[in-house]
Amino acid sequence: MDSEGWTHIENFRRRHNMIEFQMVSPITKFSNTMMIDITMEQYNSWVGGVLIQDAMPNTTVDEREFIKTGMTPECWDIAFPEQSEV
């Protein structure tokens, strides 16, 4: 962990009140970027053990998944395609 608390993200930038996360998808291996409205305090709270939905209640499920794993909704579609009903 660096001095500001960022551990597993490849790259981030603060823009206004947003943080830009750049993550590599574990499924596609492509680099994806997402702007997420969280504070450093929220991120550090999660890293410190608070459940992500409690640390970042203002984020969507997709945003939280991206922060945790780097997976986008499109990655989930690739990893888990809908099965046709038999």
What is the per-residue pLDDT across 23-40, written as a single tens digit (0 to 9) for each?
999 988 999 999 999 988
Per-residue pLDDT at 63: 96
Task: Give whichever of 5-9, 19-23, 33-37 has the largest mean pLDDT.
Answer: 33-37
Q: What is the gyration radius of the CA atoms in the chain, in angstroms?
A: 14
What pLDDT score was predicted for residue 8?
Answer: 47
Q: Taking all residues of the chain, what is their mean pLDDT, rounded to a whole number?
A: 82
Residue 32 lies in a domain: yes
Q: What CA–CA distance (Å, rounded) separates 38 from 52?
A: 11
State pTM to two decimals. Answer: 0.74
- Asked, for residue 4, whether it belongs to a domain, the answer is no
Whether 38 is covered by a domain: the verdict is yes
Is residue 75 in a domain? Answer: yes
Domain-located, residue 42: yes
The reply to whether 3 falls in a domain is no
Number of domains composing the chain: 1
pLDDT at residue 5 tops 90: no
Find the domain containing 53 and state its range: 12-79
CA within 13 Å, CB half, 20:
8
pLDDT tens, position by position, 74-84: 998 998 888 65
